[in-house]
Amino acid sequence: MDVVSPELNSLLPDEIMDTEAIAMEEELPTEHLAAPPQSEPEPPQVPMETELPEIVSLCPTTTSMQMTSTDAQCSTSSGTQLLLAPSGLISGTTTSAKTTGPAVTQNLPKISSVTVPANHQLIINKVSGAPAAVGKSLGAAVLKPEGQKLLVAGLSKTGQPIMLALPHTWNKPATTQSTGDAKAQPTQIKMVTTVGKPVIAVSSASQLMGSSTTLQAQQLKTLQFTKKPAVSTAGPMITKLIITKALNNKGLSSPASVAPVVTGRVVTQSTPVTPPRSITFGETISTVPQNTSGNSKVAISPLKSPSKLTVVSVASQSPNSPQKSVTLPLSVALGQQILTVQQSATTSPAKAGTSQSTAQTVKPVQTVGGVGTSQFKTIIPLTTPPNVQQIQVPGSRFHYVRLVTATTGSSTAQSSGSTNTNPSIQPAKPVMMNAAVRMSVPIVSAQTIKQVVPKPLTSAAQVVTTSQTPQRLIMPATHLPQIQPNLTSLPPGTVLAPAHGSGNMGYAVLPAPYVTQIPQPAFVTLTSSSSFSTATPIQTQARLSLNGYCDCFANGEFCNNCNCVNCFNNLDHESERLKAIKACLDRNPVAFKPKIGKGKEGESDRRHSKGCNCKKSGCLKNYCECYEAKIMCSSMCKCMGCKNFEESPERKTLMHLADAAEVRVQQQTAAKTKLSSQISDLLTRTTPAITSGGGKLPYTFVTKEVAEATCDCLLEQAEQAELTNQPQAVAERLILEEFGRCLRRIISFAGKAKTDCPINC
């Protein structure tokens, strides 16, 4: 059973990830670390500050890292060590788990590679077949930050105990018997921290062991520590340590109980019909065992804005299937808004429209507004397999998720998941989406989460305006006769509009700015149903317009202020748009899903779902979708001459330059800001002194502070020129130009001072 104790999650982070005291001094060698036994530690490469946190995760005061073919040790000046040790060398007790030092490091399994790719993952791949002398053990890792010891022991082929020795405050024995044969499946140990809040996520993607129901170390398939640098100069990148080794994940059978921990609390959701599912959320997400079959996680890119909506969709699940868990990306602790769409197993399409399904639709909705935190999560069971689309409404601070369901207005539809290769002819398949019902699920602040489910309206347009804080609705995709909405509580600008072609079953929730896009007739009746079968010239145009892959359309957005010609990707042509969506989904069911999703188990977290096909760019330009998404090319890619892999020196150089450039830009911006600030401050202080005669001359503004700020700008320019290997002449010119700009700025402020003070000047 995949159980992870909350205690483990509450203990490990603080014990291990004392990032406050971490001194990042050198980066880990990024080349292969399966060096010969006498190999010296590789000299640090060009410092890439974004790679430093890997050291942080393992060796808070790391100054060197040594690895041989038989051991791997991360030594620190303070004695902190990272040891990769075979579990067989460690007896099955907690006490012995604390054993560290050279004795443990002997006869360690060979580490095949240790790499630090650009996505800040330190991956230590161990050779699956350990030497016989090692007793076929699969390895263990001892993390001993600041005197504490953490042993993450692998699964022994010979049944030897695999342990997780926790810091001294961890009292539970972490030893169990191994009953499975551990061979092939990789195990990841990932270090995860968030800014200021170290966490550890332990998850098991499979039922590794027998019937144990307690937290046992060998079941820990994944330890994930993701660190966001406290001071990030390269965006919200996530740094991870992944120690990969071979494990067996076969034998998945019984559903595992789930004990996700949310900031020390256990939140478990279960229904009478389905095995318990659990969602963890909160700032310190810690433990989520996973049975990933059928699950799909769409984790937000760590490089995106933390405010970006993340959609975690869970695929359809049979009532008998094992539980599913969703681990929220840790960026939730950074203000990222997470929406999880989880399909209820009790609301199959065959039951859609029944009172039971209706109740199921509403009840499981779970919102958690963090007290004292702005993070929350919403779980929305659907009645039909959803096609989740992220919607970014231009100009709106709300994030939407569009759920396009394949259903008709009939509540007694019996089939689902059918496909129709001909979008225009669907007479025999009433379930097909000749009308798409939209669910716009906005994300609002945690403290103001409110869900309003309106009943089908029989009157004309409903434009509800209240004085409340802007909120949006979560609309059901099915008939909800029992739910009586409180329309008077709707936020200002909220508009209930009928989804074209959906009869009286679907409603579109529109932010106020889009009211202007809705033609008045669209409000007249909510029971009007526009059929796609009646092709019109406009629809023909729409097909032409939307069949192309407009980015807005592909992202589930409406075009707004685009340069597109004859655009039909707007509410004026909603029916045509929905038809185009349907056509696209018919051709490609995942057309609106992000290409960059979670990789397979054991692989890096993010990967291109399809793979790139680059030929000339070497996958090191933004032409490459993988490179653009800042992920490595994978085996799915069909690229030629790919250089977008972990050890690629070209890629490392590019990443380094990009990081350096970003730092330069920030420094330059800071210097200019400082200059402006100094000048403004000077003006504030000197304005009263300006005489009523001709005022002060510009040079009088060149005080010591201004001069220093100017020098900062000039130095930045010089460094910039040096960084780009500019000739001296060019460098001088750039510096002089910068100086000129500084002077102009000073003069400008001086002139402004005169202008702003006509009375005194």
Partner DNA sequence: GAGTTTGAAACT
Partner DNA sequence: CAGTTTCAAACTC
Q: What is the distance between the alpha carbons of residues 181 and 250, in angstroms, rounded to a whole number?
A: 8
423 or 599: whose CB is closer to DNA? Answer: 423
- Angle (CA) 414 415 420, round 5°: 145
Within its chain, how far is the Cα of 521 from the centroid?
Answer: 41
DSSP reduced 3-state for 65: strand
* Least CB distance to DNA at residue 598 (A): 18
* Least CB distance to DNA at residue 363 (A): 38
Report the 10 Å Cβ neighbour count for 392.
17
Q: CA-CA distances (angstroms) from residue 492 to 466, 488, 519, 703?
A: 5, 10, 19, 53
Helix 537-547 vs helix 574-587: angle between axes, to the nearest 10 degrees? 50
481 or 548: whose CB is closer to DNA? Answer: 548
Cβ–Cβ under 8 Å, residues 345 and 351: no
* Least CB distance to DNA at residue 119 (A): 18
Query: Strand ranges (DSSP E) for 569-707?
Result: 596-598, 606-608
Residues that bind DNA (CB under 7 A): 547-549, 551, 584, 587-588, 591, 595, 610, 612-617, 619, 621-625, 628
Whole-number CA gyration radius for the chain: 30
Q: What is the distance between the alpha carbons of residues 198 and 203, in angstroms, rounded to a whole number?
A: 16
* Least CB distance to DNA at residue 613 (A): 3
* Least CB distance to DNA at residue 644 (A): 10
Please give the full DSSP string across 293-327, using - where no structure is assigned. TTB---PPPTTS-TTS-EEEEE----TTSPP-EEE
251 or 611: whose CB is closer to DNA? Answer: 611
Beta bridge partners of 81: 75, 144
Q: What is the distance between the alpha carbons of residues 283 and 221, in angstroms, rounded to a whole number?
A: 22
447 or 588: whose CB is closer to DNA? Answer: 588
**Greatest extent of the chain over all pairs of C-alpha atoms, in Å:** 94
DSSP reduced 3-state for 114: strand
26 or 628: whose CB is closer to DNA? Answer: 628
Q: Is 692 exposed, middle or buried (CB count within 10 Å of its CB: 0-12, 13-18, 19+)?
A: exposed
Token pair recorded at residue 228: 């966001």
Question: By C-alpha distance, which of 761, 752, 746, 756 is closest to 708?
Answer: 746
* Least CB distance to DNA at residue 621 (A): 4
DSSP reduced 3-state for 728: helix
* Least CB distance to DNA at residue 559 (A): 11
Query: Strand ranges (DSSP E) for 365-408?
Result: 366-367, 377-379, 386-392, 399-406
524 or 544: whose CB is closer to DNA? Answer: 544
633 or 690: whose CB is closer to DNA? Answer: 633
Please give the single-letter amino acid code of residue 658: A
Helix 649-686 vs helix 704-723: angle between axes, to the nearest 10 degrees? 170
Q: Are strands 338-342 and 377-379 parallel, antiparallel or unpaired?
A: parallel
Report the 10 Å Cβ neighbour count for 713.
21
* Least CB distance to DNA at residue 242 (A): 26
495 or 620: whose CB is closer to DNA? Answer: 620
Q: What is the distance between the alpha carbons of residues 293 and 207, in angstroms, rounded to a whole number?
A: 12
292 or 569: whose CB is closer to DNA? Answer: 569
* Least CB distance to DNA at residue 116 (A): 23
551 or 722: whose CB is closer to DNA? Answer: 551
103 or 640: whose CB is closer to DNA? Answer: 640
355 or 547: whose CB is closer to DNA? Answer: 547
Token pair recorded at residue 141: 């890792």
DSSP reduced 3-state for 275: coil
441 or 612: whose CB is closer to DNA? Answer: 612
* Least CB distance to DNA at residue 554 (A): 8
Cβ–Cβ under 8 Å, residues 570 and 577: yes
* Least CB distance to DNA at residue 616 (A): 4
238 or 552: whose CB is closer to DNA? Answer: 552
* Least CB distance to DNA at residue 591 (A): 7
Please give the single-letter amino acid code of residue 520: Q
* Least CB distance to DNA at residue 736 (A): 23
Cβ–Cβ under 8 Å, residues 690 and 761: yes
* Least CB distance to DNA at residue 491 (A): 32
Beta bridge partners of 372: none
Sign of the Cα torsion 709, 714, 716, 717 reads positive
* Least CB distance to DNA at residue 300 (A): 18
DSSP reduced 3-state for 677: helix
* Least CB distance to DNA at residue 543 (A): 9
549 or 699: whose CB is closer to DNA? Answer: 549
Q: In what order do the strands lie in the sheet with 399-406?
A: 386-392, 399-406, 436-437
164 or 583: whose CB is closer to DNA? Answer: 583
Q: Are strands 185-191 and 222-224 parallel, antiparallel or unpaired?
A: parallel
Residue for token digits 């150089």? 653
615 or 744: whose CB is closer to DNA? Answer: 615
* Least CB distance to DNA at residue 544 (A): 9
376 or 627: whose CB is closer to DNA? Answer: 627
Q: What is the distance between the alpha carbons of residues 545 and 711, in angstroms, rounded to a whole number?
A: 54
Token pair recorded at residue 385: 């397999």
Residue 88: which residues within 8 A CB-CB, separation 6 or more?
A: 134, 135, 136, 137, 156, 158, 160
* Least CB distance to DNA at residue 506 (A): 25
